[in-house]
Amino acid sequence: MQRRIAPSAPIQSERDGIVHLRGGGTSVVVDLDTAPVPVIVHWGADLGELGADALGMARAIRPPRGSGGLDDAALLSLLPQPGHGWLGTSGISGRRAGGGFATRLALGDARPSTPAGRLIRLVDEHLALTATIELEVTATGLLRQRIAVTNTGDDDYLLDGVLAAFPLPHDADELLDATGHHLRERAPQRHAFTNGTHLRESRRGRPGADATLLLTAGATGFGFERGVAHGIHLAWSGNHRLLAERTPGHDPVLFAGELLLPGEVVLAPGETYVAPWAIGAWGDGLTELSGRIHDELRSRDVHPRRPRPVTLNTWEAVYFDHDLERLTALAEAAAEVGVERFVLDDGWFRHRRDDSAGLGDWYVDADVWPEGLHPLVDRVRALGMEFGLWFEPEMVNPDSDLARAHPDWILRGRDELPPEARQQQVLDLANPDVVAYLEERIDAILGEYEIAYIKWDHNRDLVEPGAGPGTAPRVRRGVEALYGLLDRLRRRHPDLEIESCASGGARVDLGILERTDRVWTSDCIDPLERLQIQKHTGLLVPPELLGAHVSTPHIHSTRRHTTLDFSAGTALLGHLGIEWDVTTLDAEERERLAAWVATWKQHRDLVATGRVVHADLADPALDVRGVVARDGSEALFTIAAVATSAAHPLGRVRLPGLDPERRYRIAPLEPFARATEPGPASLDWLTVPTVVSGRALGASGLRAPGLVPSSLIGLHLTAVG
């Protein structure tokens, strides 16, 4: 059984200058005294009560003097700096306007801030800087760090950046991160963690479709089920830097911080820069590592608690062809199959007949909607569904009333505009007038109609993000303004839910998820592609926050054809929705889609609370994943064939994460019990009642069913006895 770390009250202790922070199965041991800046001696498994052993631990890691090196070898500290002998990437970089770049920030004082947190103040009196590091271990076992830099001098300080340092075990010799592009986010990549720096940056003004949500290090071959791994994430929706570094003279380290563009942060005397939270998670296997993050998100006051509504989004059903009669028919068909939330996508506002015009003109188009949206909203609500609406507030078409009236509201670094993307430009949210306009327009729409949900889109990268010639970049200020706008809208409309969409999955981070209720995982809803996208997005985001929709049979983004069962089964372990013109379904298709919706509703509480598990399989043709109830009483699994296999028939697969001491009755999910689409005899092995122990299913497994590529089956396991 995958080891579960129950949230526990975090605690801390101090003895002989050694601080021990504990919570959720994690220990962080900090040496306050050995080096000029405190050092993390240990980050990983809970060490229990250390007592006098703590000082011995700190002494045991002190490096000896190396041949050809500095007389006093540097330890990896919480803020490594060249002035203390650190010759790798510095934890802080910048310079005074009048000259002076060399920092030697050293410990001023340290005091408790939370039950398992410390506030550590570093001081450089000569350079007139202070840095305050917030360090804490959460009840779910995460290590969180945030750094604030204050200019205590008489002239400006030009800050280039700060990085939070997370030490690694020396045997962490393999890295896992992700890359991708639009329609193929979160593609994993592995490589050896050799000497040097592996740097992942976003300069897109948002994390980007190519961003890695986690940068993870572990011993070669670590997987979901086993192998100690440590990963980091920056809870920030703008530019960022994640890097892994190993040098011959220093311990391996992971760094996380905001990427500041040239001149973006200039601290006047007395001003403070506060970095985003950097999050570290560890586990014996990626399942345990990601489980800590999921548990942390689920423990938040802002986490959605009510059952996740089945959502139909109109985009791939009608695109820009908004017609009341057609949309009303779509809503009625949606309600018939069990949809609970109907979302009107792009095309409802002024001049918006395609994507070349109108963006920014947030008024209902009277030519298309002479009575406003009221007839559609009223019909949707009369059918028992919530109504949702698409916005892309941060963007503007040059062909719009807004751009013609306020060309100065568009981000630019020069007199001319940056290159267009999707025939649009980016609004300057650092301009208070821009935010005031957006806030008034969105608030007016929310006030006029009963809207329960906003799909908040962001469809292009930021290029030359300034306010014109001679101005500094404004990415950071724009992200802060976005957060403030979302926070105010949520306060005024406390029942409103918001989805973060950015060309699909290009803005997925824990900063935006503090203010939104789910992410749109990808614009690609091809279930074959979605299996990988959802798997690696799910390292950070729990399934109830992952938008996962049943697709049309013909996928417009990949030109593949798919089956309803494969599409619905892939969406099963997420926040279920539909991206399909369901008015085109015949009676049999509607009945089967309704059966899948009913099945998901039956199990959605399990999806929203259980532990996500993935099997590490030798056969790349198979994918096995599931959600296991926290008490081990039940589980959902899908077994998918993503390609043809060298084995024929298919070999055994293991079902990880079950309680080894319990026995489970295995049954196909209801839609599969009524038909064996798409292949022959795919459920022959379940023709008699099957009860197997969790230990056997996790170790020996069961024979995979006879699946053809691009198909799957779903299983429901119930503990018996």
Delimit the domains of the chain by residue range. Answer: 11-63+72-298, 311-397+428-443+452-457+499-603, 613-720
The reported pLDDT for the residue numbered 721 is: 75
The reported pLDDT for the residue numbered 685 is: 55
- Separation between Cα atoms, residue 540 and residue 289, nearest integer Å: 9
The reported pLDDT for the residue numbered 86 is: 95
Q: Closest Cα to residue 242, out of 228, 227, 231, 251? A: 231
Q: What is the 3-state secondary structure (H, E, C) of 125-174?
A: CCCCEEEEEEEEECCCCCEEEEEEEEECCCCCEEEEEECEEEECCCCCCE
Q: Are 76 and 87 in contact (CB under 8 A)?
A: no
Cα radius of gyration rounded to whole Å, the chain: 27
The residues with which 144 forms a beta bridge, in sequence order, are: 136, 279
Q: Are 359 and 399 in contact (CB under 8 A)?
A: no
Name 604's Cβ contacts closer than 8 Å, sequence gap at least 6: 307, 308, 544, 576
Neighbours of 595 (CB within 10 A): 21
The reported pLDDT for the residue numbered 670 is: 82
The reported pLDDT for the residue numbered 157 is: 98
The reported pLDDT for the residue numbered 436 is: 98
Burial of 433 (0-12, 13-18, 19+ CB in 10 A): exposed
pLDDT, the chain, mean: 95
What residue type is assigned to position 319 of the chain? Y
- Separation between Cα atoms, residue 128 and residue 154, nearest integer Å: 8
The reported pLDDT for the residue numbered 6 is: 56
Q: What 8-state DSSP symbol labels residue 309? A: P
Burial of 107 (0-12, 13-18, 19+ CB in 10 A): middle
Q: Closest Cα to residue 78, out of 120, 126, 108? A: 120
Q: Is 408 a catalytic residue?
A: no
Neighbours of 203 (CB within 10 A): 16
The residues with which 20 forms a beta bridge, in sequence order, are: 13, 29
Q: Is 173 a catalytic residue?
A: no
The reported pLDDT for the residue numbered 684 is: 59
| Catalytic option among 177, 251, 345, 457 | 457
In this structure, what are the phi and psi dihedrals at residue 330, rounded to the nearest 5 degrees? Answer: -65, -45
Using the structure block, give the residue that is written with the tokens 């540097």: 74
Q: What would the two tokens of residue 36 be?
A: 């000029």
The reported pLDDT for the residue numbered 697 is: 97
Within 13 Å, how many C-alpha atoms sit on residue 205's CB side? 26
* E-assigned strand segments in 488-633: 497-500, 518-520, 546-551, 575-579, 611-614, 622-628
The reported pLDDT for the residue numbered 690 is: 85
The reported pLDDT for the residue numbered 75 is: 93
The reported pLDDT for the residue numbered 678 is: 45
- Separation between Cα atoms, residue 330 and residue 275, nearest integer Å: 46
Using the structure block, give the residue that is written with the tokens 């996928």: 555
Q: What is the 3-state secondary structure (H, E, C) of 15-66?
A: ECCEEEEEECCEEEEEECCCCCCCEEEEEEECCCCCCCHHHHHHHHCCCCCC
**Which regions of the chain are under pLDDT 70?**
1-7, 673-689
| Catalytic option among 361, 523, 526, 565 | 523
Q: Are 638 and 668 in contact (CB under 8 A)?
A: no
What dotted CATH number matches 311-397+428-443+452-457+499-603? 3.20.20.70
The reported pLDDT for the residue numbered 9 is: 84
Q: What would the two tokens of residue 444 be?
A: 């007016």
- Separation between Cα atoms, residue 671 and residue 505, nearest integer Å: 29
Question: How are the residues of the chain apportioned to helix, strand and coil, as percentages rounded to the nearest 5?
Answer: 20, 30, 45
Q: Are 721 and 693 in contact (CB under 8 A)?
A: no
Q: Closest Cα to residue 561, out of 609, 517, 527, 597? A: 527
Q: Which CATH number fits domain 11-63+72-298: 3.30.9.90, 3.30.420.40, 3.90.650.10, 2.70.98.60?
A: 2.70.98.60
Q: Which fold has domain 613-720?
A: Immunoglobulin-like (2.60.40)
Per-residue CA distances from 374 to 365, 380, 387, 449, 494 (Å): 12, 10, 11, 7, 22
- Separation between Cα atoms, residue 550 and residue 572, nearest integer Å: 9
- Separation between Cα atoms, residue 482 and residue 476, nearest integer Å: 10
The reported pTM is 0.97
